[in-house]
């Protein structure tokens, strides 16, 4: 930061300067403000901003170099040596004795290490070690381990030779070869036994205690009793009566097999004793991928999403003709309702016995044409025919059409016939032909070759042009009047 010329002048007046070509050396006291060091130079009360080349604290005496309008602390007079907390890194420590709370090192050469607790993360290599108590997650011993006493939770070895006695709480042995096995409790999945060495008494004891056969009697060639909870595999089982909660019979020669595959060919073989009684089959208990039925009668079933009820068939929740939910109802009386409340096709009979066909849809296509377009074309054709209806305009005179001696005094009235409509006033004319339609009068007097237009503002024209008042002043020998309907 550059100093002002006035400040530099005050430095010169207030201190004893040591001037050199490299600047002026001055002394002062450090003042810290918001963590930033300032110097109050001797003989001045002004705080001078400085940069520091030394570690300084507040109120310490320092030496300041002023050069090129810049003040720099060059040395700390109050504390010339470094503090212990200012030393950050030691590259080498040589000591006869050192007490270190926490030591972290990349490489250390220690001739003799004595420690209460040592944790080595990667690898420890030692020529010789005397360890009283060793606790490790994984230990590999290449040659020989000799121990007076060892407690091993889990041991995995290729070959173990135990000369005296092995005691283990839990052991898994894949293959055991022994001369004699003495066990209080054994769970054996498979065993090869020489039955020649087993006597009748032992067999009776075995079956009775095992619970396989109740009231067992062992003879020379047979064992009698009641089997309990076993699976019997055999080609032929003979018995007077078989009682079972569930009986599954398989085989191509059996009647039940034939019923499952081709019931038509064995129907004559069915009797009350070898057939299933359909009257006692539990409801909703038959599951099959294919059922062939020639005649099915049902008043309560669901097939492929269709519900069969006494009155007909329906899908979804549309269980009646009046139901407005989406779906289909087909009544047994021939009535049908397909769709929902907005889009539907219904054929129904009302209370009077009259039949109705109702269709509601956004678009209705009959054949290859859209009904909406067909109806629009019909309306256009009707409008075209209406426009082609013959229009007739007649002029009627209140006192006839022939007058004597120029004594002409009459009212000419216009009558327009359009189809069945008779138009005699301007309001109805606008209603039929539009607001731009109007009546235009023309006349041709004697010796004139063309008709002249009589303005609509002429006082003789009344009733919106439908009346023309004629007086003798309008006739000189011969006058012809004409009226036109202008519709633009």
Tens digit of each residue's pLDDT (9 = 90 or more) over 122-158 = 667 766 777 777 777 777 777 677 777 777 777 777 7
How far apart, in whole angstroms, are the C-alpha atoms of residue 17 and residue 23? 10
Residue 87 has pLDDT above 50, yes or no: no
* Residue-level pLDDT at 451: 93
Residue 106 has pLDDT above 70, yes or no: no
* Residue-level pLDDT at 125: 72
Beta strands in 433-488 (DSSP E): 438-445, 452-454, 461-462, 467-470, 479-486
Residue 279 has pLDDT above 70, yes or no: no
Which distant-in-sequence residues (6+ apart) come within 8 Å of 358 by Cβ?
344, 345, 346, 347, 348
Q: What pTM was computed for the model?
A: 0.27
Q: Coil, helix or strand for 370?
A: strand
DSSP secondary structure letter of residue 237: -
Six-digit token string for 93: 């420590």
163: pLDDT confidence band, cut at 50, 70 and 90? confident
* Residue-level pLDDT at 1: 41
* Residue-level pLDDT at 471: 85
Q: Coil, helix or strand for 479?
A: strand
Q: Coil, helix or strand for 375?
A: helix
Six-digit token string for 14: 């207030």
* Residue-level pLDDT at 139: 73
151-162 pLDDT, tens digit each: 777 777 777 777
295-318 pLDDT, tens digit each: 666 666 777 778 888 888 899 888
Most confident of 95-109, 121-135, 162-176, 293-307: 162-176
Residue 180 has pLDDT above 60, yes or no: yes
400-411 pLDDT, tens digit each: 777 665 677 889
Give the mean pLDDT of the chain: 76
Over residues 82-108, the mean pLDDT reads 56
């Amino acid at each position: 930061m550059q100093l002002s010329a006035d400040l530099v002048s005050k430095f010169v007046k207030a201190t004893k300067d040591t001037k050199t070509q490299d600047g002026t050396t001055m002394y002062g006291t450090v003042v810290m403000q918001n963590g930033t060091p300032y110097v109050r130079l001797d003989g001045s009360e002004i705080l001078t901003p400085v940069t520091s080349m030394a570690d300084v604290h507040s109120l310490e005496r320092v030496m300041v170099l002023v050069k090129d309008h810049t003040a720099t602390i060059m040395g700390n007079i109050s504390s010339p040596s470094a503090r212990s907390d200012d030393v950050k890194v030691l590259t080498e420590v040589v000591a006869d004795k050192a007490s270190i709370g926490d030591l972290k090192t990349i490489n250390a050469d220690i001739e003799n290490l004595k420690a209460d607790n040592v944790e080595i993360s990667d690898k420890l290599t030692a020529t010789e070690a005397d360890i009283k108590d060793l606790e490790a997650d994984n230990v590999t011993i290449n040659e020989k381990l000799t121990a007076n006493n060892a407690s091993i939770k889990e041991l995995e070895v290729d070959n173990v030779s135990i000369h005296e006695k092995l005691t283990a709480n839990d052991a898994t042995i894949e293959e055991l070869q022994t001369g004699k096995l003495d066990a209080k409790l054994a769970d054996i999945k498979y065993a090869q036994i020489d039955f020649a060495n087993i006597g009748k008494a032992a067999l009776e004891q075995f079956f009775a205690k095992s619970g396989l056969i109740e009231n067992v009697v062992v003879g020379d060639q047979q064992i009698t009793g009641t089997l309990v909870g076993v699976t019997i595999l055999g080609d032929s089982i003979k018995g007077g009566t078989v009682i079972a909660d569930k009986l599954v019979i398989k085989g191509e020669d059996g009647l039940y097999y034939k019923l499952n595959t081709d019931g038509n060919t064995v129907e004559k073989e069915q009797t009350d004793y070898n057939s299933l009684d359909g009257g006692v089959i539990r409801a909703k208990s038959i599951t099959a991928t294919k059922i062939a039925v020639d005649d099915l009668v049902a008043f309560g079933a669901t097939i492929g999403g269709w519900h069969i009820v006494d009155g007909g068939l329906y899908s979804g929740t549309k269980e009646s003709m009046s139901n407005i939910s989406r779906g289909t109802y087909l009544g047994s009386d021939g009535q049908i309702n397909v769709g929902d409340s907005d889009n539907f096709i219904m054929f129904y009979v009302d209370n009077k016995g009259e039949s109705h066909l109702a269709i509601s849809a956004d678009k209705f296509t009959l054949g290859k044409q859209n009904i909406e377009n067909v109806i629009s074309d019909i309306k256009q054709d009707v409008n075209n025919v209406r426009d082609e209806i013959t229009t007739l305009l007649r002029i009627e005179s209140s006192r006839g059409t022939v007058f004597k001696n120029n004594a002409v005094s009459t009212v000419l009235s216009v009558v327009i016939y359009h189809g069945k409509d008779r138009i005699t006033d301007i309001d109805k004319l606008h209603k039929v032909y539009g607001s731009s339609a109007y009546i235009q009068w023309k006349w041709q007097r004697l010796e004139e070759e063309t008709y002249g237009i009589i303005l609509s503002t002429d006082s003789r024209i009344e009733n919106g042009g439908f009346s023309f008042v004629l007086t003798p002043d309008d006739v000189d020998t011969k006058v012809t009047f004409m009226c036109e309907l202008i519709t633009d």
